[in-house]
Structure 1
């Protein structure tokens, strides 16, 4: 068992996490199915996002994670598939020392349809994981590996295509280039 500081329990892998609801009507995060890695987070406020818009939604939940653990806020695959909703900083990281309310930065990536969130809609999932501390040691050269410095697209797939894909004008009209200036947003992406 664990004490009230929110430390790992000795009952086969279950970790006790202290939780405070900042909104008394919010349901305690729970797992939808046995074996799920993530538990559901809901929003305490309604919002409507036009195509390309983003907002920060509160969840009504604050945590005290045990030292050596972090919680990661992931997008919901159903919202992504059905509505084009994602999280801007996915996954969001909740450090063990953070005691504030968990908030989720949602974005509507659909180029045509708005998306609406009502109070207590499920907006994200929370995964709690053990994290390792590291000590960095600077060296002149790193040891070799099979991958070496191979980065983006180094394993092939679509990135291995040599010729650009030709699109019709109808296909191109749905996309807008995003510039590097501050006025750029996600519209059409």
Structure 2
């Protein structure tokens, strides 16, 4: 599969703010205010035709999340290659106190287009062993007060 895709679209073109960005910004086609704790399905006015063998992942914008608590309810949203309708983003205001106003043309999410490998699911009686086994959610975190380096993980931001 080639690293370049020609993706036809209607409405506003998704675009990368910088040439090396992974995601292309999606813009709001409507104006609304999200009250604290409120969610809304926000239209982009854009539809795309993804190539077969790819998926579109709609992810939150980190600046909106960090500065205003705006995220996507079902992050990442999945756009299948056969879908042709308007791209809509299910936004949520997680701020407990401040409403957030979205204007027409505001960047509300980012779209990543990713190739999907061909996968065949084969039923077996027993799965091969894995590092985590059946330990479940959170099992790759710190165990029993161990530091990052003791647990075999790399220190984050130079801390141990």
TM-score relative to the length of structure 2:
0.85
The 3 A distance-change label for structure 1 pair 135 and 47 is same
Verify the 8 A CA contact 1:62 1:101 in the aligned structure 2.
Answer: yes
1:123 to 97, 103, 108: 108
Partner of 2:37: 52
Deviations 1:62-121 (A, max 9, x none): 111111011110000000000000000000011000000000000000011111101111
Q: Secondary structure at the match of 2:46?
A: strand
Partner of 2:77: 92
Counting matched residue pairs gives: 145
Cα distance in 1 between the residues matched to 2:69 and 2:96: 9
Verify the 8 A CA contact 2:132 2:140 in the aligned structure 1.
Answer: no
Structure possessing the higher radius of gyration over alpha carbons: 1
Cα distance in 2 between the residues matched to 1:33 and 1:160: 43
The 3 A distance-change label for structure 1 pair 160 and 73 is farther
How large is the RMSD of aligned CA atoms in angstroms? 1.5
Moved more, 137-146 or 81-90: 137-146
Structure 2: where are the runs of 5+ without partners? Answer: 146-160
Partner of 2:96: 111
Residues 37-186 of structure 1 mapped to structure 2, 5 A cutoff? 37-157=22-142
Structure 1: where are the runs of 5+ without partners? Answer: 1-7, 162-189
Structure of higher RCO (CA pairs closer than 8 Å, 6+ residues apart):
2
Moved more, 101-110 or 130-139: 130-139
Deviation of 1:60 after TM superposition, in Å, equals: 1.0
Cα distance in 2 between the residues matched to 1:156 and 1:68: 34
- Structure 1 segments of 4+ aligned residues over 4 angstroms from their partners: none
